[in-house]
């Protein structure tokens, strides 16, 4: 069964919005089976839990619990996965990644495509808006979340 990328993305966007409402980094993700079953969903929890290890994708992966393999899963995320989250996808053999946008930040999705992961890159206006506003309003938090030094203004 072919899943509708926009329908799957909607779950990740809900997570991103919830993160924003909590004062967190507004990035959401969800892990689905290729049959469309939701396995786990999550959002960046740096602010909420003081946990730098929980990006949206790792949070969704964690919430999906233990599985033998991930070849038959789809990771959906509101933003292009950083190297940390791209490494997760590659190591665990997640077969497909659906991405809300890669305009405000571009991580390792081309690298994943080179390694056989099926990439669907949308250009979702709400995802772009969430991140554009966040980067403008909280540049220091965004820099921390991706481990870069904040640019002098």
Catalytic machinery residues: 57
Under rule CB under 8 A, residue 92 binds its own copies: yes
Size of the site for its own copies (CB under 8 A): 36
Q: Which of 9, 56, 58, 99 binds its own copies (CB under 8 A)?
A: 58
Under rule CB under 8 A, residue 44 binds its own copies: no
Identity of the residue, 36 or 83, whose beta carbon is nearer to its own copies in the bound complex: 83
Interface positions, 131-150, toward its own copies (CB under 8 A) = 143-144, 146-149
Q: Which of 90, 95, 120, 135 binds its own copies (CB under 8 A)?
A: 90
Q: Which residues contact 42 (CB under 8 A, 6 or more apart)?
A: 15, 28, 29, 30, 54, 56, 58, 59, 60, 61, 62, 63
Interface positions, 65-84, toward its own copies (CB under 8 A) = 65-70, 82-84
Under rule CB under 8 A, residue 118 binds its own copies: no
Q: Which of 88, 97, 117, 131 binds its own copies (CB under 8 A)?
A: 88
Under rule CB under 8 A, residue 4 binds its own copies: no
Give 99's strand partners.
77, 121
Instruction: Give DSSP secondary structure letters for the chain.
Output: ----HHHHHHHHHHHHHHHHHTTS---EEEEEETTS-EEEEEE--HHHH--TT--HHHHHHHHT---S--TTEEEEESS---HHHHHHHHHHT--EEEES--SS---SHHHHHHTT-EEEE---HHHHHHHHHHHHH-HHHHHHHTT-PPPP-
Q: How far is the CB of 6 from its own copies (least distance, A)?
A: 27
User: Which parts of this chain interact with its own copies (CB under 8 A)?
Assistant: 46, 50-54, 58-59, 61-62, 64-70, 82-88, 90-93, 107-108, 143-144, 146-149
């Amino acid at each position: 069964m072919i899943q509708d990328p926009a329908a799957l993305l909607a779950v990740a966007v809900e997570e991103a919005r919830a993160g924003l409402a909590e004062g967190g980094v507004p990035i959401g993700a969800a892990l689905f089976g290729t049959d469309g079953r939701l396995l786990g969903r999550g959002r960046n929890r740096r602010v909420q839990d003081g946990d730098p290890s929980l990006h949206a994708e790792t949070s969704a992966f964690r919430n999906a619990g233990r599985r033998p393999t991930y070849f038959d899963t789809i990771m959906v995320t509101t933003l292009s996965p950083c190297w940390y989250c791209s490494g997760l996808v590659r190591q665990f053999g997640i077969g497909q990644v659906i991405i809300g946008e890669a305009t405000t930040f571009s991580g390792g999705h081309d690298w994943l495509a080179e390694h056989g992961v099926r990439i669907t890159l949308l250009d979702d206006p709400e995802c772009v808006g969430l991140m554009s506003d966040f980067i403008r309003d909280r540049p220091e938090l965004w820099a921390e979340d991706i481990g870069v030094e904040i640019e002098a203004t």
